[in-house]
Structure 1
Amino acid sequence: MARALEEGFAKCRVTRPDAVPELPARLDEFVAQGRHGQMGWMAERMGWRGNPAALWPEARSVIMLAEVYTPAHDPMQVIGQRDRGAISVYAQNRDYHDLVKKRLKRLGRWLLEQAPGDEIKVFVDTAPVMEKPLAAAAGLGWQGKHTNLLSRDLGSWFFLGAIFTTIELEPDPPENGNCGSCRACLDVCPTAAFPAPNQLDARRCISYLTIEHHGPVEEELRPLMGNRIYGCDDCLAVCPWNKFAQTASEARYAARPELVAPRLAELAVLDDAAFRALFSGSPVKRVGRNRFVRNVLYAIGNSGDPALMAVAQGLCEDEDDTVADAACWAVGRLR
C-alpha cells in the first residue's frame, strides 16, 4: 500500500484476523507455565488475545505496519560502563505509542475515504492484540528464536501497528523463518530468559524485570541485570539481520544525548518531579520514579564503583520500601 509508505511506515502487509489458528494453544501454554509473571493482563481476555477474530467479529482484514527506529549508535557500547546506565533504544526519546498511533489514524482516515461505509480500529499495544504473530502471518517478517519479529530488509529495529478493518483485502503470504542455526540472541541473554529457541520466560527477561515487575527483583537475578536500568536490547542488537536495517526517518526516535548513557549518580537522586521532567514524553515515564530508581540502584550495586557508595547509602531510608531495599542491597554489594 503506497499510502502507508507516504505516512512514514517502512513496510505494510495484510492478513486475516483468523490467520493464526495455533495462537490460543501457544498463549494458553505460556500462561499456564506462569511465564507471564506479574503481567496479569496477559491472562485476562485470553479469548480475545488468542483469537483476534473474536476481538472484533466484523473485521475482515488486518493491515500490519512496521515503523523503523534503528539507532544511530551501538546500543551495546554502554553495557558495562560502571558509572552509566543503559536505557533501551526505543525509550531514548519520544513514546512510540503516540507517534505510531497518529500515523495509523491518518492512514485509516485515508482508507475510509476509499471505502465509504466501512470501519476501522487501530492498535499499538492498546488492546489484547498479539501483534507479532499477526505480523508474521502477514509477511512483515518472522518471529526469531528470541520471539521478536525479524525482517530481511528491516532487521530487528521496528515497531508494529495494526489496523483492523471491515474492508475485504487480499492477504499477503507469510514469510518463512530465516534464522538457520544461529543462536546469537539466545546466547547473549544475561539472565538465560530463553528456555529453548522460540520460547521466552518473561520472569527472567530484563525488559520485564525493569519495566513490568513491581516490588523487589529476586536477589539471584539482580547481579545479572548489570547496568540495564530500563529495558534490554541485547538479543535485538546481536542479530545478524541488522546489517540490512534501514535508517529511521522519524527524527523523534533519535536518541536524546542525555539518555544514551546517563550517569547513575544523577539518576539515583531524582525525586518524583525531577523524574517526570526528565522523562516527559518518554515511555520511561510510565514506570514511575520508584521503580526506575530501584533499577538504578541495582546498577549501582553491580558497578563495583566505590564512588557511588554515598549515593546508595543516602537512599537506604527512602520512603519507598523497594527503593530502600535496593539501596541497602547496593551498599552491601559495594562493600
Structure 2
Amino acid sequence: MLEKKAAELGFAAIGIARADAAPLTAERLRRWIADGCHGDMIWMEDTAERRGSPRALWPEVRSVISLGMSYAPAADPLALAARPDVGRISVYAQGADYHDVVKKALKALARWLVEEAGCELKVFVDTAPVMEKPLAEAAGLGWQGKHTNLVSRRDGSWLFLGAVYTTLDLGEELTADGPHRVHCGSCTACLDACPTGAFPAPFRLDARRCISYLTIEHKGPIPHEFREAIGNRIYGCDDCLAVCPWNRFADTARAHRAFLPRAELTVPSLKGLLELDDATFRQVFAGSPIKRIGRGRMVRNAAIAAGNSGRPDLLPAVERLRDDEDPVVAEAAAWAADRLRTASASA
C-alpha cells in the first residue's frame, strides 16, 4: 500500500530502514568536517550533532521511509561543453525547484500515512539536517558511489531524495535485501571526469574543489586555480554523475514531469546572463532552485565562463561589469576582461 501511494505521488523509489540503520554516518561526517572539506557550508558544522543520526534530530523516530523522485535527463548533460557562447546549468536545476515538488509530495504521503496508521512523523528534504544519502542506501534505494552521490540500478544518478521519519515500527516492511551493496567495482569514471580533482580518494569529496560548491554555495571570489577548469559551467556540474555507466539503465520515462527542462534554462546565452539586473534575475529564475544564489553569484559565474570563452564579442558586456556594485562580480569581470583581451590579441 505504501509503495503504491508513493508511486501515485510521483516517487520512483521507496525503501524503509530502521532509525539506527546507518551507524557510521556520524563519525564519517565528523571526520569530513574536521578536515575542512565542507568549505563555507558552516551550517554543516553547526548542525553536525543533529545531522549524525535520525534519533539525534528526533529521539522518538523508529523507522525512516526513504524516497526518491527521478529527474533522469533525456538529453546528454555534457552536450554543451563545446559551446563557449552559452552557460551550462546542472540538469537538476533546469526544471522546477525540487525542494517544493518533493516536499509537497512528502506532505501528501505523510497525511495519508497518518490517516492509515495514526502515527507521528516528520518529513525532510535536503534543507534539513538529515543525511539522506546514507539513509537511502540503508533503505535499499541504491548505494553511495565513489563520487559520494546515490546510484540506483533503475534510475542511475538522477534521484532527488526525501525522507519521512515516523514513530511507527515498520520492521516487517523493511527492504528485503537490507542496505544496498556497492556496485562500482573497479570503475573510476566519475573520479577521472572531475575537472578540478575534487575527489582526494574514492567515496570522499572535498567540497572546496567541487564546481557545484564553487558556483552555488561559495559566496566570495572563486579561487583562480579553478577558474579555467570551470569552463562554461554557471550553476553546478554534472560531469561525475553523467559519466556513471549505471545511467545506461536510467529510464527517462520515470522522470517527474515537473523536472522537464525549461527552454530558457537549457541553452542560456552568456551575453544575456552578463546583462542581468536583480529584477530580471528574479523574473528569469522564478520557481527554480537557482533563485536562491541571487543575481551576484550568477553574474560572477557568467563572467568567469565568458573569460573562458575566448569570444571577444562578450568583452563589452564584461567591461560594463568592472564597475558593478558587487565587488565579487567586479573582480570576476576584471579577470574575464583581461582573459578576453589576451585571447583577442593572440588571435
Residue aligning to 1:272: 278
Taking only the aligned residue pairs, the percentage that are identical comes to 60
Residue aligning to 2:87: 85
Matched, 1:328 2:334: yes
Aligned mate of 1:208, from 213, 224, 247: 213
Residue aligning to 1:34: 36
Aligned mate of 1:72, from 62, 71, 74: 74
Partners of 2:301 and 2:92 lie apart in 1 by 18
Dislocated runs of 4+, deviation >4 Å: none
2:185 partner amino acid: G
* Secondary structure class of the residue paired with 1:315: helix
Partners of 1:322 and 1:46 lie apart in 2 by 30
Partners of 1:230 and 1:45 lie apart in 2 by 25
Matched, 1:15 2:21: no
8 A Cα contact 1:49 1:129, kept in partner: yes
Partners of 2:47 and 2:255 lie apart in 1 by 36
* Secondary structure class of the residue paired with 2:225: coil
The Cα offsets for residues 196-217 of structure 1, whole Å up to 9 and x where unpaired, read as: 1001000000000000001101
State the 1:249 CA deviation: 4.1
State the 1:21 CA deviation: 1.2
Residue aligning to 2:264: 258
* Secondary structure class of the residue paired with 1:198: coil
State the 1:152 CA deviation: 0.8
Which runs of 5 or more residues in structure 1 are unaligned?
none
* Secondary structure class of the residue paired with 1:128: coil
State the 1:218 CA deviation: 0.7
Summarize the alignment of residues 42-191 of structure 1 with structure 2, pairs less than 5 Å apart: 42-116=44-118, 118-170=119-171, 171-172=174-175, 173-191=178-196
Partners of 2:302 and 2:316 lie apart in 1 by 14
Aligned mate of 1:227, from 228, 232, 235: 232
* Secondary structure class of the residue paired with 2:99: helix
Between Structure 1 and Structure 2, which shows a larger proportion of helix residues?
2
The Cα offsets for residues 179-238 of structure 1, whole Å up to 9 and x where unpaired, read as: 011111000000010001001000000000000001101111111100000000111111
* Secondary structure class of the residue paired with 1:217: coil
Matched, 1:303 2:305: no
2:190 partner amino acid: C
1:36 partner amino acid: H
Partners of 2:221 and 2:326 lie apart in 1 by 11
8 A Cα contact 1:88 1:231, kept in partner: yes
2:42 partner amino acid: G
State the 1:334 CA deviation: 1.1
Matched, 1:244 2:244: no
* Secondary structure class of the residue paired with 1:14: strand
State the 1:53 CA deviation: 1.4
